[in-house]
Amino acid sequence: MVSRIGRILVVDDDSGVLTAARLLLKRHFAVVQTESDPKRLPELLRAGFDVVLLDMNFARGADSGAEGLEWLGRILRIEPGMVIVLMTAYGDVATAVQAIKSGATDFVLKPWQNEKLLATVTSALRLHDSRDEVARLRSRERALVGAASGAAQRVIGDAPGMTEVFELVRRAAPTDANVLILGESGVGKELIARLLHQQSKRAAEVFMSVDLGAVNQSLFESELFGHRKGAFTDAREDRAGRFQAASGGTLFLDEIGNLPLHLQGKLLSALEQREVTPLGSDRAVAIDVRLVCATNRSLAQMCRAGDFREDLLYRINTVEIRVPPLRERMQDIAQLFEHFVDIYARKYNLPAKRLSAGALKRLQAHSWPGNIRELRHAVERALIMSDAPGLESKDFFFSPDTSRADGALRLDDYNLETVEHRVIQAALEKHAGNVSRAARELGITRTSLYRRMEKYGL
């Protein structure tokens, strides 16, 4: 059956060989071109061939294969991905090995068996198609990675706390150091992780995010390290874990504090040995990832309680970055508002709206327990629901128990630890994070306040 695909170029100084190759191959491939002068190769390659059949010897009486190896190198310099099959009348195994090491795909002897030559060229064409597909998928992946991370390229903030974050990212990103990002829920820890990736040497590779807080505990090991078919019920096929899938790029483990103790040891081993062993397998798989972790919990406190391995903590926080909560960066509210208005005006095809001075004051008076995530939702809702040309205070809704617009501390839980947590948080908010002033108002020492801040993850 005639396949009629593939563009084949045959280069040999023997006209009989060229005629025989053309008559055989033209019945099976779309284009078969022959050439006796290898000096025309640079010009011919511009036509876009899939496979080149190249003779090893061109000079009369030559049998060393040196010319073929030289032209092999020149072709690969012009077309690095070209699939090349070398031909020779001499069954020199050493030359064949050298040719393969130099980049040839295969090696055939003359005179050939038609079935053998046809099978070799067909396999070479499949290899070419596979390489093309891999290149296409890599190109698509780069485009998707760029599109997926495009929204994360701009992290908003001029407050001193954010300036420090950007400086730490600038210094840490070019290295492969493991980074631990600390911060309350909603502050944008994943955005900072993406920023680290975008400024790293791995920026063209994949950024893979895993929310450990959303993974079923029974599936943790399979999710991270992969599994083999039959390793457990429903394991119907082999599956690569996130470490393998992210190899070459950055793996972001969010909510690292949720990782069970027995898997903390396996994670530590993977980081130290740079390999993972999938469930159901006895063979380790090499990995190459840059690890970035994040948590809103106090890992130091978890270590003291025996819930987190201290040696793992040392391994994952080579560099530690704390992302400040929104209440510590109120000067960024106006800039963040404009950013979110721009996003949602385009998303919903609505006119962009300005923020009144009164509305800005109200936004800056709110405690933002949900941080950037809460602000984003508030802006989205206000933009959709308002018919006015601008947004006023009345356009923003906050539940009464989370607003501090009147300066009062409202409690809906009288558990002593909860009250202490809220009071300390309120004092820190009042004094814009100044620990000395907050401690003075609370009537305790700075050391005592630091101890309580660590206890409550503040």
pLDDT tens-place string over residues 378-429? 999 999 999 898 999 889 876 544 444 444 555 555 667 777 887 888 888 7
Which residue has 């001075």 as its token pair? 357
Question: 53: which 2 tokens?
Answer: 């059949």
Q: Is the pLDDT of residue 431 over 80?
A: no
How confident is the model at residue 404, as a pLDDT? 45
SS (HEC) of the chain: CCCCCCEEEEECCCHHHHHHHHHHHCCCCCEEEEECCHHHHHHHHHHCCCEEEEECCCCCCCCCCHHHHHHHHHHHHHCCCCEEEEEECCCCHHHHHHHHHCCCCEEEECCCCHHHHHHHHHHHHHHHHHHHHHHHHHHHHHHHHHHHHHCCCCCCCCCHHHHHHHHHHHHHCCCCCCEEEECCCCCCHHHHHHHHHHCCCCCCCCEEEEEHHHCCHHHHHHHHHEECCCCCCCCCCCEECHHHHCCCCEEEEECHHHCCHHHHHHHHHHHHHCEECCECCCCCEECCCEEEEEECCCHHHHHHCCCCCHHHHHHHCCEEEECCCHHHCHHHHHHHHHHHHHHHHHHCCCCCCEECHHHHHHHHHCCCCCHHHHHHHHHHHHHHHCCCCEECHHHCCCCHHHCCCCCCCCCCCCCHHHHHHHHHHHHHHHCCCCHHHHHHHHCCCHHHHHHHHHHCCC
* Amino acid residing at 385: M
All structural domains of the chain, each given as residue ranges with its CATH number in brackets, are 7-133 (3.40.50.2300), 151-322 (3.40.50.300), 327-402 (1.10.8.60), 416-455 (1.10.10.60)
Say what the pLDDT of residue 400 is.
45
pLDDT tens readout for residues 275-285: 998 888 878 88
Q: Cβ distance 205 to 342 under 8 Å?
A: no
The reported pTM is: 0.60
**CA gap 162, 168 in Å, rounded:** 10
Is 371's pLDDT higher than 70? yes
- pLDDT at position 19 over 90: yes
197-211 mean pLDDT: 91
Q: What is the pLDDT of residues 328-368, one digit of tens each?
A: 999 999 999 999 999 999 999 999 999 999 999 989 888 89
With a cut of 60, say whether residue 11 has pLDDT above it: yes
pLDDT of residue 1: 39
> Is 193 in contact with 181 (CB distance < 8 Å)?
yes
Q: Grade residue 99 by pLDDT with cuts at 50, 70 and 90.
A: confident
CB neighbour list of residue 350: distance below 8 Å, 6 or more residues apart: 344, 383, 384
At residue 4, the pLDDT reads: 63
The residue-averaged pLDDT of 63-74 equals 84
Distance CA 155, CA 181 (A): 15
Query: Any idea which of 200-209, 256-265, 429-438, 439-448 has the lowest mean pLDDT?
Result: 429-438
298: pLDDT confidence band, cut at 50, 70 and 90?
Answer: very high
Task: Using alpha carbons only, give the angle 232, 238, 244 rounded to the nearest 5 degrees.
Answer: 110
Residue range 236-263, pLDDT digits in tens: 788 888 999 898 999 999 999 999 898 8
**Torsion angles phi and psi, residue 129, rounded to 5:** -65, -40
Amino acid at 281: S
User: CA-to-CA distance for 259 and 343, rounded, in angstroms?
Assistant: 34
Tell me the pLDDT tens digit for each residue of 131-160: 888 777 766 666 555 555 444 457 899 999
pLDDT band at 53 (very low <50, low <70, confident <90, very high): very high
Higher pLDDT, 224 or 455: 224
Angle between helices 333-347 and 371-385 (to 10 degrees): 50
- Summary mean pLDDT of the chain: 86
Position 3 scores a pLDDT of: 45
Q: How confident is the model at residue 2 (pLDDT cuts 50, 70, 90)?
A: very low
Side chain identity at residue 398, one-letter code: F
In this predicted structure, the answer to whether residue 317 has a pLDDT above a threshold of 90 is: yes
- Average of pLDDT values for 100-128? 90
**Euclidean distance between CA atoms 72 and 70, whole angstroms:** 5
Q: Among the ranges 72-81, 103-112, 180-189, which has the highest mean pLDDT value? A: 180-189
Q: Lowest mean pLDDT: which of 113-127, 226-240, 333-347, 361-375?
A: 226-240
Of 165, 180, 169, the residue nearest 257 (C-alpha) = 180
Using only C-alpha atoms, the chain has a radius of gyration, in whole angstroms, of 32
pLDDT tier for residue 123 given thresholds of 50, 70 and 90: very high
Neighbours of 341 (CB within 10 A): 21
- 192 pLDDT band (50/70/90 cuts)? very high
